[in-house]
Structure 1
Amino acid sequence: MAGDLILVTGVSGYIGFKTLILSLESGFKVRAVIRKAEQAKKLESHGRVAPHVNNLQWVVIPDLSETDFYDPHLKGGVTGILHVASPLAKETDDYDRDIISPAIKITIAVLNAAHRTPSVKRVVITSSAVTLVSFAWMFGPAPPSPDLTLFTAADISSVPAEASSAMEAYFASKTLSRMATKEFMEKEKPSFEFVNLLPTMVFGPDELATNVQELMTNASGLVLRALMDVKLPPMIGATVHVDDVARAHIDGLKSSVPGNRDYILSSDVPEGICWDDAERAVKSHFPEAVEKGILKLEGSMPLKPWRLDTKETEDAFGWKPISYEETVKELVEQYLGLVEAEKK
């Protein structure tokens, strides 16, 4: 474990960068995959990365879907791969070309490269809890009475023939990649094991954000806007702290965590979260910001109940996720700190 050499993709992104930080702080030697060489300077100068540069190597792979590009970078005793990189939900004129197909191809490319590398023992993949539910459940209207279905990691949804939005395409890419992983493992029977991580909505402090605008670019921005004055459409009522998602990637390399399985990552299970908890946390911990109107608490984020069973995750990893209220607290602390910094 500590001291082992691992390959990590997606390190320039929200989850991937936190995974890089925790990997280095856990004592791993890391080969970090980036698409452009110029990304390295910014990432390695970060205060939590800089002390570990002796254990960090940069790997430039412009096209992550080309499996042969990984082979040279898996030599020298790489024992594990943390595969975080995947296309995001961005508007385009071809969802399959720009979101769905690349996600599947990149995942299969990583798996094939690992299959050709005897030293690789584990491949940990960032999937998503959206793969558990149907598109109708996710995007359709809330039923008259709450859906009390308890979803487990054994669930996997089908996808429609064609996505009608970038978000649907993103969800489809995660579901189809998860299916492709299982098909690959069954067909190829490689010597390594896989671990699929299925996080719900990921938010919390952003290690890469240096100003308020940057902090608003992911799911954290949705939460912050709702704590101000933005009224959002209904959202799924399940979240997980970004630190827990990163930590699960690293722990997923451990032999004590059963391999060839999927694990749901979500806080406050099984009932899910309540928006009132976020407002209560803000009023309790940041009364001055509320009084000054920095956090107006005039917005809203209606939440659709999403019941999830994470007992298998907690048994395998040996820890419980950070609560929703604590995640909100940490995010707001970062936001207020950036607001103050911009005033100076």
Structure 2
Amino acid sequence: MSGDLILITGVSGYIGFRTLILALEAGFEIRAVIRKAEQAKKLESHKRIAPFVNNLQFCIIPDLSDTYSYDSHLQGVTGLLHIASPLASETGDYERDIVNPAIKITLAVLNAAHRQSSIKRVVITSSAVTLIPISFMFGPAPPTPDLRLYTASDINTKFSTPYASAMEAYFASKTLSRIATKEFMEKEKPSFEYVNLLPALVFGPNELATNLKELMTSSCGMVMGSLIDLKIPEMIGASVHVDDVARAHIDALKPSVPGNRDYILSSDAPEGIIWDDAKEVVRQSFPEAVESGVLKLQGSMPTRPWRLETRDTEEAFGWKHISLVETVKALVGQYLELVATEKK
């Protein structure tokens, strides 16, 4: 494993960059896919990447849905980590800009891997939202909590279009890409195995963030906002540390992890978490920041219970997920460091 050549898409993103760091630290040779040449300079100059630049090559592929654009970069590659995906950005056409590109890129990667005999495994970043109906996420809260235990064999196949928001389209894109992957494997029967990783809400430190504005994006900003003064709408009660997601991508390349399987990534399973419990974590771990008002703890984030089965993941990977307590402490620690830096 260590010393093998792997290709990674999505390295300029939150999960992808963290995965790139851990893969380099684990001794892999990396071909990192970027869309623009200028992204390389920013990434390779990062303090966590700089010591490993001799083990890192960048591949410029402007259109990730062009399957043949991967061919020249896959020579000698044994593993492919496909992390890149269209983001949930508001647009005038969700199908055109979010859903269809996600499916096309996934199939482009799979077809490219199928043409390269050296590839043993393809690992894909999917999502735990593929397990549940859209109404579970966006519909009104049921009279009584839905306490069903969702497993990696679950998949939602029902969608109503047009999508009401970019986030709905994003969730649909993940589900339809997961379905497309299974259909591809059944039809083409490639020599490689696949692994679909299904993370719950991912947060934790963002090593690409150099200031508070950059940190307070996506899920990190939502969690931090609820610990300061923002009242966030009801959120599903399942999360996972970004480090767990990154190391799962790397460990999924190991022959010891059964392939052609889906694995849920979620901490504190199966019962899940209560988001407002994070406030007590902050009170105990950062009392000075609370007393000074840096962490106001005036926000809130109500929880909709979501029970997820992760025993298969823990058995296959040989480790347990980082808890909500440690994830919150890590994110808040980075937030306070950036606050101190910006005050200087």
In 2, distance between residues paired with 1:334 and 1:251?
26
Contact 2:203 2:242 in 1 (8 A): yes
Contact 2:276 2:302 in 1 (8 A): no
Q: Is 1:137 paired with 2:136?
A: yes
Partner of 2:195: 195
In 2, distance between residues paired with 1:94 and 1:144?
34
- 181-190 or 161-170: which moved more? 161-170
> Per the alignment, in what secondary structure is the counterpart of residue 175 of structure 1?
helix
User: Which ranges of 4 or more aligned residues in structure 1 deviate by more than 4 Å?
Assistant: none
1:185-241 per-residue CA deviation (whole Å, 9 max, x = no partner) reads 000000000000000000000010000000001201001000011101101110000
Contact 2:196 2:261 in 1 (8 A): yes
> Per the alignment, in what secondary structure is the counterpart of residue 7 of structure 1?
strand
Q: Is 1:204 paired with 2:204?
A: yes
Partner of 1:25: 25
Match of 2:222, as an amino acid? L
In 2, distance between residues paired with 1:275 and 1:198?
20
Match of 2:41, as an amino acid? K
Match of 1:112, as an amino acid? N
Aligned residues: 343
1:96-126 per-residue CA deviation (whole Å, 9 max, x = no partner) reads 1100000000000000000000000000000
Structure 1 residues 1-344: aligned runs within 5 Å: 1-75=1-75, 77-158=76-157, 159-344=159-344
> Per the alignment, in what secondary structure is the counterpart of residue 275 of structure 1?
coil
Match of 1:32, as an amino acid? A
Deviation at 1:161, TM superposition (A): 3.3
In 2, distance between residues paired with 1:173 and 1:147?
24
In 2, distance between residues paired with 1:276 and 1:300?
6
In 1, distance between residues paired with 2:295 and 2:102?
37
> Per the alignment, in what secondary structure is the counterpart of residue 312 of structure 1?
helix
In 1, distance between residues paired with 2:255 and 2:135?
37
Deviation at 1:163, TM superposition (A): 1.2
> Per the alignment, in what secondary structure is the counterpart of residue 78 of structure 2?
strand
Contact 2:232 2:301 in 1 (8 A): yes
In 2, distance between residues paired with 1:264 and 1:275?
19
TM-score (ref. length: structure 2): 0.99
Match of 2:239, as an amino acid? T
Please provide the CA RMSD for this pair: 0.6
> Per the alignment, in what secondary structure is the counterpart of residue 262 of structure 2?
strand
Structure 2: 5+ residue runs without aligned partners? none
In 1, distance between residues paired with 2:256 and 2:225?
40
In 1, distance between residues paired with 2:120 and 2:108?
16
In 1, distance between residues paired with 2:99 and 2:283?
41
Contact 2:265 2:310 in 1 (8 A): yes
> Per the alignment, in what secondary structure is the counterpart of residue 276 of structure 2?
helix
In 2, distance between residues paired with 1:90 and 1:230?
21
Contact 2:276 2:300 in 1 (8 A): no
Identity of aligned residues (%): 73
- 307-316 or 153-162: which moved more? 153-162
